[in-house]
Structure 1
Amino acid sequence: MTAFDYDLFVIGGGSGGVRAGRIAAEHGAKVALAEEYRMGGTCVIRGCVPKKLMVYASEYPDQVRDAAAYGWEATLGAFDWGRFHGKLEAELDRLEAAYRRNLDRAGVKVFDTRATLADPHSVKLADGSTKTAKHILIATGGWPFVPDFPGSDLVITSNEIFKLDALPKSILIVGGGYIACEFSCILNGLGVDVTQFYRGPQILRGFDDEARDHIADAMRARGVTLHTDTVLRKLERGPDGIKATSGDGSIAQYDAVMYATGRHPNTAGLGLEEIGVTLRENGAIAVDEYSQTNIPSVFAVGDVTDRVNLTPVAIREGHAFADTVFGGTPRKAEHDLIPSAVFTQPEMGTVGLTEEAARAQGPIEVYVAAFRPMQPMFAGHAEKVLMKLVVCADTRRVLGVHLVGDHAGEMIQMVGIAVRMGATKEDFDRTVAVHPTMAEELVTMKTPVRTA
């Protein structure tokens, strides 16, 4: 029998890789993990966590304004990026240390270095040493994509936005996905003059059309200069900033330009192709429902597989892998009916099918409520929330729920349980409303606004 150094070697210290390594070790496996940057991956270091903290920071101007409307003597001074950023870095340090402690407690050996595949059972570290393992797990996540165009070297991405020494006074954000839209709202809330270009007809492609329209209108009302059907042709460094030329030839100047035009699986230079691992056209690792590649000893989880690129999904995939391979309990991570949130302002929560996707599958009923909620209405704001149910006309099952408004992410987590359980419209109707809340509209909409 061949003796391996480890039962499992994990390449990548993000949420999926760390969960897989820790659970495998708890199942009794001898585990090692290599991470070339910081433990915690995209979510903890340059994604969900720092982004959400920036969301919180950006919301305080609205809160102070509302406090004054409610009778408080409230004023707000200037935002101190340096002060906030120092606390942000301290929090990321704390979280990274917690990840390391959890791995250490589980008995996982950590190598703080780059690792690549030498063969189906061998990993080569940057110091030239080689470690062997019965199983290898790739969990290297994704990386921001910037196309090659004149001046592309002048842009920053969602990686660098957290590392700025100072906030720009103005910024152009290119892209229409959730990362671009979230940072447009964040920076707008922090006092930056924000312009956003998106080449398509509407932002947030893939989400429900009615919700997309609602968010785009609200972003513009809050001060984001949003241009759809617009492309960026070139960038040039000027004496006072970056000069941007758009597709129609118009020119404007910004202090910074951020590209958020998608992320690619982080597989380049790992040695995957050399040992025969099948990659899809975009570089994603092709895996089966148990996260196994075409090479039996090599597995992959998380964004590097480009299945559903969300941190909780990577964690589920990593845990399922460890239970399957080392825990004696074959388990698959489910990739349907996943609740998710987009932390724009206003926030969006969604689960299940969009109206457009549901309509393509059969007859549906659509229930919609758009209204001014109590708290901001009292403060004199015109912005509305959106509550939407998409229902199968035949089975009465709720196929999709789409919420736009404050705390939509919190609400959709609870609604996601009902949708996964197969709740019908009548189940929603039988549920007594909590009054006065925004969420009560989910159980009080009685008449469909349209059918299809």
Structure 2
Amino acid sequence: MPPLPVKEAEKIGEYDLFVIGGGSGGLGTARRAASYGAKVGLAEASHRLGGTCVNVGCVPKKVMWYTSEEASSLRHAAAYGFGNAEENDKIVASFNWPKLKKKRDAYIERLNGIYDRNLAKDGVDYHEGYASFVDKNTLNIKSLNGENYTIKAKKIVIAVGGKPHVPTDEEVPGASLGIDSDGFFELEEQPKRVAVVGAGYIAVELAGIFNGLGSETHLLIRHGAVLRTFDPMLSDVLLPWMEHVGMNVHKETGVTKVEKIDGGLRVHQKNGEPIDVDTVVWAIGRHANDNGLGLDKVGVKQDDKGNVIANEYQETNVEDIYALGDIGGKAELTPVAIAAGRRLSNRLFGPPEFKDDKLDYNDIPSVVFSHPPIGSVGLSEPDARKKYGESIKVYTTRFRDMSGAMLDENQKQPTAYKVICEGPNERVIGLHMIGVGSDEILQGFAVAIKCGATRKDFQATVAIHPTSAEEVVTIF
């Protein structure tokens, strides 16, 4: 359904629950509450429901990752008897970025429409505008055409997500000449030369996509490793491979200035010569999207990074005001926001068996869509040693997966797995994987780890052969 007209919205009365934010977490919260018969409203300050994940995150990113993977498959096709290397390289070089973007954008628009229809089906009132607090039970909605009205709600959920961080021109002269990770999805043409600044998963993913599609790609990182919040093994395997396949990785550096030159941009770095590119992409982290919420009017506490502070039940310090998803700065993943929101609505409006429902933030699996992909769940080895000391045991394996059997040795992607166990029963407390299929393999093993599986449980499971996944149960 379309958003409520302002005149109609003003007559709604009091909601049982009102959600600020139409991203994955907000939608999950609102629809679950409405399924229990609650009167629910939701505000989204853009024309597109779905939030970061659907519009400028997980979904279009995965489309681009698949596109890059297709390019890799074409390059390898000759080794399996399809065409020849020269012909296949020409096909890769003919990649049409504008055509792919048009199809990708249409796909996202269809998803936006599905979310819209789902709200209507579940009876959630959709307000299109910016919501801000007037008091703890009152919100001002500023519609996109500038009109203002207020709504009342017994309970309010803040689920406005985060946004990319970009340095100011005062911090880095010329920084505004670059784009952020959201801007990546607005590129109408493929840059021939690109510099990606950052070492986290977003930087790694975007750099991998550019490089896989044939752009001259530079990745600038502050230290000597990428993905520094993950287990160190993953960077140890991934970074050399990124360099092996032609990415220019500039380590122990940073950007001091960006300037416009004829034909592009010049990136000056702390260590090393300037780099001339067509596009600079800032992927140096994200921060809470808290601007204009009026949190100070109701006294909702935030940390020094602007994240809204909430407890394990998503409760803020103000009664009947809740926060979930990326605005909380904890486990910033789409499925986490959805799960937290649904459990919150279960507890607030569901049957008695859900009176204590909450999300367990331990052992949350995550994936990095690098080339090859990464899967990780549980504690990293450094964190495990810090928590459990000498009671942990670490099992590792490295190999080349069978998908590259027909390729030349220098074309075979690396694979590495690490299983971390703790205590006399060797409960599995960490699993870290890099290699083809790691993104899909991880989900089932994450269930086992969540259930408290031990080394013996893994060993007792018959391996599926020939697969990469079998190495997880034969690693011991």
TM-score (norm 1): 0.96
The residue number in structure 1 matching 2:443 is 413
In 1, are the aligned partners of 2:22 and 2:51 still within 8 Å (CA)?
yes
**Residues 213-259 of structure 1: CA deviation (Å, up to 9, x unaligned):** 10111111111111221111011111111111111362121100000
The residue number in structure 2 matching 1:23 is 32
Residue 374 of structure 1 is aligned with which of 402, 405, 410?
A: 402
Q: Which runs of 4+ in 1 moved over 6 A?
A: none
Letter matched to residue 442 of structure 2: I
Once the 2 structures are TM-superposed, how far is the Cα of residue 336 of structure 1 from its aligned partner? 0.6
Residue 42 of structure 2 is aligned with which of 33, 37, 46?
A: 33
How far apart, in 2, do the equivalents of 1:372 and 1:292 lie?
47
In 2, are the aligned partners of 1:173 and 1:197 still within 8 Å (CA)?
yes
In 1, are the aligned partners of 2:401 and 2:436 still within 8 Å (CA)?
no
Q: How does 1:291-370 map to 2 (within 5 A)?
A: 291-328=314-351, 329-330=354-355, 331-360=357-386, 361-362=388-389, 363-370=391-398
Q: Are 2:107 and 1:91 equivalent residues in the alignment?
A: yes
How far apart, in 2, do the equivalents of 1:249 and 1:409 lie?
35
The residue number in structure 1 matching 2:7 is none
Q: How does 1:207-286 map to 2 (within 5 A)?
A: 207-248=230-271, 250-286=273-309
How far apart, in 1, do the equivalents of 2:175 and 2:74 lie?
39
How far apart, in 1, do the equivalents of 2:419 and 2:323 lie?
35
Helix, strand or coil: the match of 1:325?
A: helix
In 2, are the aligned partners of 1:4 and 1:134 still within 8 Å (CA)?
no
Q: Are 2:464 and 1:434 equivalent residues in the alignment?
A: yes
Once the 2 structures are TM-superposed, how far is the Cα of residue 4 of structure 1 from its aligned partner? 5.0
In 2, are the aligned partners of 1:273 and 1:279 still within 8 Å (CA)?
no
Q: How does 1:117-196 map to 2 (within 5 A)?
A: 117-126=133-142, 127-148=147-168, 149-196=172-219
How far apart, in 1, do the equivalents of 2:444 and 2:215 lie?
34
Once the 2 structures are TM-superposed, how far is the Cα of residue 144 of structure 1 from its aligned partner? 0.2
In 1, are the aligned partners of 2:413 and 2:435 still within 8 Å (CA)?
no
Once the 2 structures are TM-superposed, how far is the Cα of residue 65 of structure 1 from its aligned partner? 2.4
Letter matched to residue 348 of structure 1: I
How far apart, in 2, do the equivalents of 1:123 and 1:327 lie?
25
In 2, are the aligned partners of 1:367 and 1:445 still within 8 Å (CA)?
yes
Once the 2 structures are TM-superposed, how far is the Cα of residue 382 of structure 1 from its aligned partner? 3.5
Helix, strand or coil: the match of 2:441?
A: helix
Please say which of residues 325-334 and 174-183 is displaced more in the overlay: 325-334
Letter matched to residue 117 of structure 1: F
In 2, are the aligned partners of 1:195 and 1:224 still within 8 Å (CA)?
yes
The residue number in structure 2 matching 1:67 is 77
* C-alpha RMSD of the superposition: 1.3
The residue number in structure 1 matching 2:220 is 197
**Residues 37-88 of structure 1: CA deviation (Å, up to 9, x unaligned):** 1100000000000000000001112212222101122622411011101110
How far apart, in 2, do the equivalents of 1:5 and 1:297 lie?
14
In 1, are the aligned partners of 2:199 and 2:221 still within 8 Å (CA)?
yes
Once the 2 structures are TM-superposed, how far is the Cα of residue 318 of structure 1 from its aligned partner? 0.7
Once the 2 structures are TM-superposed, how far is the Cα of residue 187 of structure 1 from its aligned partner? 0.8
TM-score (norm 2): 0.91
In 1, are the aligned partners of 2:19 and 2:30 still within 8 Å (CA)?
yes
Please say which of residues 69-78 and 307-316 is displaced more in the overlay: 69-78
How far apart, in 2, do the equivalents of 1:235 and 1:94 lie?
37
Letter matched to residue 41 of structure 2: A
Count of residues in Structure 1 that have an aligned counterpart in Structure 2? 444
The residue number in structure 2 matching 1:287 is 310
Residue 13 of structure 1 is aligned with which of 4, 9, 22?
A: 22
**Residues 395-426 of structure 1: CA deviation (Å, up to 9, x unaligned):** 31111111101111100001101111111111
How far apart, in 1, do the equivalents of 2:413 and 2:331 lie?
31
How far apart, in 2, do the equivalents of 1:254 and 1:109 lie?
46
Residue 101 of structure 1 is aligned with which of 109, 117, 123?
A: 117
Once the 2 structures are TM-superposed, how far is the Cα of residue 393 of structure 1 from its aligned partner? 4.6
Letter matched to residue 44 of structure 1: V
In 2, are the aligned partners of 1:203 and 1:228 still within 8 Å (CA)?
no
How far apart, in 1, do the equivalents of 2:475 and 2:343 lie?
38
How far apart, in 1, do the equivalents of 2:424 and 2:306 lie?
41
5+ unaligned residues in a row in structure 1: which ranges? 447-452
Once the 2 structures are TM-superposed, how far is the Cα of residue 170 of structure 1 from its aligned partner? 0.6
In 2, are the aligned partners of 1:39 and 1:96 still within 8 Å (CA)?
yes
The residue number in structure 2 matching 1:384 is 414
Q: How does 1:393-408 map to 2 (within 5 A)?
A: 393-408=423-438
The residue number in structure 1 matching 2:5 is none
The residue number in structure 1 matching 2:229 is 206
1:248–1:373 Cα change, 3 Å:
closer
**Residues 356-404 of structure 1: CA deviation (Å, up to 9, x unaligned):** 1112222222111111112213222343200111111523111111110
How far apart, in 1, do the equivalents of 2:438 and 2:403 lie?
15
Q: How high is the sequence identity, in percent, across the aligned residues? A: 41
How far apart, in 1, do the equivalents of 2:188 and 2:80 lie?
36
Once the 2 structures are TM-superposed, how far is the Cα of residue 319 of structure 1 from its aligned partner? 0.3
The residue number in structure 2 matching 1:111 is 127
In 1, are the aligned partners of 2:316 and 2:323 still within 8 Å (CA)?
yes
Once the 2 structures are TM-superposed, how far is the Cα of residue 283 of structure 1 from its aligned partner? 0.5
The residue number in structure 1 matching 2:95 is 79
How far apart, in 1, do the equivalents of 2:412 and 2:298 lie?
59
Helix, strand or coil: the match of 1:163?
A: coil
How far apart, in 2, do the equivalents of 1:304 and 1:383 lie?
37
Once the 2 structures are TM-superposed, how far is the Cα of residue 324 of structure 1 from its aligned partner? 1.2
In 1, are the aligned partners of 2:18 and 2:156 still within 8 Å (CA)?
yes
